[in-house]
Amino acid sequence: MKITAQEEYGLRCIMHLARVPFGDTVNVRQIAEHEGLSVAYVEKLLYLLNRAGLTESVRGAQGGYRLAHPAEQITLRQVLDALGGVLTADSLCSQFSGDREICVHHGGCELHSVWSFVADYLSVIFNRITLKHLAEGAARPLVPPVLLRSEQTIPLTEREPASAAQISLEGR
């Protein structure tokens, strides 16, 4: 998986908002200075996050940006989707189709199951981790235990990601 500059810097900007009390605004210039980015670039990133309903802009002397929802209600997946999208096996396979519209191995690719497995696990992890977890440095325990192993291989019986129902029962 490749994280784009837009995703990395957008995450940094929204994390800046997640670290202040909910409802408080932060000036774009403050975020830009803190992150070492141009004001114009921060405005672009916050516009994308605002358009996705994750942040709100507030006008006036005390204006700026703030989270649209409490940090515990915004997932890493939502932020990444707003900033450019999350890797899926289908998007990866369509990205490398050579000079054709669809991959020549479509329907019979040995690699698709690997990319699908990786994309599914990333999706599970990104849906579990909230901005609050990140702000508190508490995201690591949310990674599925099978991924914390030091072994080089994962037994086939453990290669299925947790279902959405399992994730919600475990209590993010």
* Tens of pLDDT, residues 124-171: 888 989 999 999 987 776 666 555 555 555 554 555 555 544 444 444
One-letter amino acid for residue 119 of the chain: A
Q: Where are the beta strands (DSSP E) in 68-112?
A: none
**What is the Cα–Cα distance from 112 to 162, expressed in whole angstroms?**
19
**What is the Cα–Cα distance from 84 to 79, expressed in whole angstroms?**
9
**What is the Cα–Cα distance from 16 to 22, expressed in whole angstroms?**
12
SS3 at position 87: coil
- pLDDT attached to residue 171: 44
Helices (H) and strands (E) in the chain, counts: 8, 2
DSSP 162: P
Rounded to two decimals, the pTM is 0.74
The answer for residues whose C-beta is within 8 angstroms of residue 117's C-beta and 6 or more apart is 159, 161
- pLDDT attached to residue 74: 97
- pLDDT attached to residue 167: 43
- pLDDT attached to residue 62: 82
- pLDDT attached to residue 72: 96
Which residues of the chain are under the pLDDT cut of 50?
A: 156, 164-172
- pLDDT attached to residue 158: 55
Domains and CATH numbers, the chain: 5-71 (1.10.10.10), 87-170 (no CATH)
